[in-house]
Amino acid sequence: MEDGISTIVLDEELAYIDVVPLRWSALAAPVDPDRASAQLEHNLRLLQALVALEDHGPSEKSDENSPHSADLMRLEFKVNLLLDLVGQILAGSQPRPAAIPMRFNVHGAIWRAQEGQVRAGESGQLEIWLREALVDPLRLYGRIVSVGIDRRVKVRFEPVGKPVEDLIEKLAFQRHRRQVAGTRERR
């Protein structure tokens, strides 16, 4: 999925890349404005929760001389472990699609679809389960721009709203920053 480039982009902007369960559902009619508004609120709460889960503390190293530093780190590790375990239990009790490589940002998404799963030009909803600890998926409305011979699907999203846009951009940046830091540590 990375096409041999170090910075993952989609439509010339940083993109969130992961292997996650996702599902495309075609819609027969345009989305009702009230439903779209409720979905915007849902996406905002979901992304706020994900940002909180993904936040790995302050960017500066903790003060090793602080008397509670080690205790706080152990507590944070245990809470994260508990969240992951609860997420695995929830994921096991609620069927999700198979995880596949994909990338997305505020403009759209790219993934490889199964045979006959999607058609270019159709409108629908893309559901993305970003983390096991989160029960609900991120739900974004859009239109399939293209389906390549290799089944590579490109979706263009409808506007997601400024608060949701900001959080998606923040997640993509955090993911990219961690990827760069991981590459530097391996050298």
* CB neighbour list of residue 181: distance below 8 Å, 6 or more residues apart: none
> Is 124 domain-assigned?
yes
Q: What is the pLDDT of residue 51?
A: 85
> Is 96 domain-assigned?
yes
Model confidence pLDDT, tens digit, residues 26-41: 998 888 888 989 999 9
> Is 61 domain-assigned?
no
Model confidence pLDDT, tens digit, residues 44-72: 999 998 888 776 544 444 555 677 777 77
> Is 91 domain-assigned?
yes
DSSP-assigned beta bridge partners for residue 20: 100
Residue 43's domain comprises 9-54+71-182
Say if residue 144 is exposed, middle or buried (CB neighbours under 10 Å; 0-12, 13-18, 19+): buried
Looking at residue 45, the DSSP 8-state letter turns out to be H
Judged against a pLDDT cut of 60, whether residue 2 lies above it is answered with no
Q: What is the pLDDT of residue 60?
A: 43
- Give the CATH number of the domain where residue 36 resides: 2.40.10.220
Query: For residues 46 and 51, what is the distance between their CA atoms, to the nearest angstrom?
Result: 9
Q: What is the pLDDT of residue 58?
A: 46
Judged against a pLDDT cut of 90, whether residue 10 lies above it is answered with no
Q: What is the pLDDT of residue 91?
A: 61
**Percent of the chain surpassing pLDDT 70:** 79
Query: For residues 128 and 172, what is the distance between their CA atoms, to the nearest angstrom?
Result: 14
Q: How many domains does the chain have?
A: 1
Query: For residues 17 and 22, what is the distance between their CA atoms, to the nearest angstrom?
Result: 13
Q: What is the pLDDT of residue 107?
A: 95
